[in-house]
Every structure is written in structure tokens, then in C-alpha cells.
Structure 1
């Protein structure tokens, strides 16, 4: 599966093609790749708009749009899963959903004064005024707690970290069960404000091998319904056409019958 991650930082999987969130950069990245189906992966609205514009310029026949509203380190784990060889681009959503079901994300932030989700308590707001304060945020459970010297990240198959240029706590890497497999942006951190705090440290851990996720997706591929427009198999909606997939026309084994055809450019953008 060919993947162009728009706005992805340094450190994502080496098989992922990165592009800046500008139309020129995305179009140039696409034109450098083989003429085949590919996925434009985004996680913020600016990049999503650029991906839509690129599909308007180049046509929708080979461009799938996969937008995930997830934290940066979790997105990096998903991107690694998407690069698995032999997977069709139409399966990108199923791969992402399966990977995310095994991802655990936590962050240490210096303040929660501007944090909206999960919402901190009034006491935590007041505690943010202290210059040495730090809080642990668990987006999956929707909890915020005072940092007490541990992060509680499970020892997973893959650990991805990202951090602000200034450390939120001393020796944050010592909070991990083992050294990070991926350090987005490198040890000097990211200038992008991933959290509404001047200092932060984010980590995502994958608690299952990526190979098991890919096996799960591949085993159900032949049962997926077909898109009415392009004929590609899609579990719910087609990432190429942005239309819901109809019920599968099944053959003796439940596979999608009929050849895959390529329509004229269609821009029913999500």
C-alpha cells in the first residue's frame, strides 16, 4: 500500500511518503510515485483540505482519503501498519481501526488550564498555576491526574514518543517500559503544539503485533461489499469515492463478483 502522510513529522515509518500540508507538496509527492492506488493520510483539518484539493486536481480514480482524528504518536503507529506489503489501499480504514483498537496513548503535560478533552477539574486548573506542576492525561479513558512520577504505559510491541522542545519532566524516557522504537522529531522535540501546554511528552504503545492486525483484515477482505461506483471492496464506505458500500454480490465463497472498473473522475468529497 502506497501512503502519503500529509504533515507527518520526521521519524514516521521509512516506507511512508511525507508531504507538507500544501497543494504543491502533495501533488509533487504523488507524481513521484508509481501510477497505482495510494492513500492520502491526514489527521488535521488543514491537511484534510489539502488532500481534497489534490484529488480535485489529479482526479479520484487512484486517490483514497483516510482522515483520522487521533494523537500524533497513535497516528504514527497506524502509518506503520498501513505500509505492510500486499494490502490494497481500499483496506486502509479497516487496518487503521484494527490498529487503533490495540493502541494505548498517554501524555504528561505541564498545564491543563487550556485542556478541553478530557476536561480537568477546577482543582487541577488551579494546580496548573504552579510552575512545577505536571499532569498525566489518558485520552482513551478520558482521565486527567497529577503526575506522581510514573506514566503507566504498558510494555507493547511498539512504543512511539513525541515531545516539546523543552522537557516537561526530567528524564521522561525513563518513564517507558523499554526505549522508544520511534522518536518523532528526534530528541530535540517538535515545534508543533500537539497539546495546549508549553511543555509536554506523549507516548503511544501497541499491545499486539502488527502482523496479527494485518491477518485479521486480510481474512475478512473477501467478505466486504463492493463500492457501487468503482467496484473496490470496502468494509463500510469507499475511501476513493466517498460513498457507502452496498451489500456484497457474493459468489460461492462470499467474494465480490464482477471485475473492478475505473470510473470517470468523481468528487463526492466527504
Structure 2
């Protein structure tokens, strides 16, 4: 079983259209479900039946070594592949590709595929609807002085402009989501830095480790994890380890849709 951390490490180095060498390890149901491949990585590869010839007699057999290209990635820790050798491609591949993925290879980092896999959900407006249901609206502007006074009293953290702007728009929102997400379960989050009074030392220590001023903005999963934002507007998850959600817009989408943040490799603060 591949851990989320192993999958993150693998996908960081991949691009759509990147060429790899693989060996077919299984063809469980020729003509039905596709071909599994060993790429020499922590995760396996897979050629979907939709890319393969209609006649399974033309499919690569177990033990075949061939070149493949990175075709897609979604919530499963597995790399979807496209054979380079046209003998192993559907006869109408060129026309089919123009109709289904006209811009391929997009040269997009595979790690962005998590967000791309959620594009259909984005287009339905699920992120905006979820935030509106929690009380957000364009132009929302709530006072932040109380949170600033409470947390700065420790002398360990200071509310910078990025934190003030974020909390003015999103502070106080309690977002209730659950169920399966794109790469991880969707869990509720609450943008209330007052919940983190007493945790200022944790934020100060992680700020020193990251070289960023991370200010508390709330909690995730009913207090299991803490959320913070640095002076550049990047959102983080903090525990005894740290992970980055990215800029505010990306962070909101990941929190609502269930897309895991990227673990940051820094020395332990705890």
C-alpha cells in the first residue's frame, strides 16, 4: 500500500507527456479493463482500455517492456499511461485525442492533476456555494481587532497584512463538509483564530522552522489540526508536522473539495 507521502514524492517529479519505461505486469481481462505496468517507482502504472486497440490480440502481453507517456492522474495513487508504440494504441487515437484532450500534452505538473480532477466540481460552483452556506459573501468584512489583541498578547505572533485580510473576509466562518474528497476525506474547518489562544508557541516555533511568519487562522477536523497563513498569503496545516495548502484560493478549494496539502520538508519543530 502506497502512503500519501510516497505518492506526493513520486508525482512531484512527473509531467503530463513525460516518457517512462515500463514492463507489463498484468493483463487481467484482455479487451475489458486495461494493462498494469511496473515503472520502477513507488506506484504502479496503468493503461486504460480506452487507449488500447479494440482487438485485445494487439495488446502488449505480460512481460512486454515498452515506452509509455504520463497521461493522467487522479485520486488513486497510480499513474495513467499512454503507450508510445502506436501498435498498442487504438486505431483512431489521433482523432480521439483531438476530441477528448486537444491540448495534450499540457506539460502541466502531475501534482496539479488533483486540482484538475476537481475541475468539474469547480465549474458547478460547489466551493462558492459551500462558503456562502457558511455565511460568506463577496465584500464580507468583519472586525479582526479582537483576534489580534488576544493572540498578540503572548508576544509570540503578530497579525500581518495577509492574516488581517484573510480574517476580515473569512474569519468566523464554520464550514461543515464531510464524505469522500478528491485525495482525502472532507473534514469540517472553522476560521476562528480565537480557538488557538494558547497555541502561539507552536506557531512561533513552526514560523522559525519555515522562515515565514505563520499567523493562526483556525482549525481543521474539529481541532485535530491547526490552520495558519504566512505573510505571503500561503495557508498551512500545522500539527507535529507541517503541510502547505498554497495561496488562499487554492487552499479554500482543497479544504472544501478534500485535496490533501503538500507536506513540507523542514526540520522538526516538535
Larger radius of gyration: 2
Superposition TM-score, scaled by structure 1 size: 0.27
Greater relative contact order (CA < 8 Å, ≥ 6 in sequence) = 1
Superposition TM-score, scaled by structure 2 size: 0.27
- Which has a greater percent of helix? 2
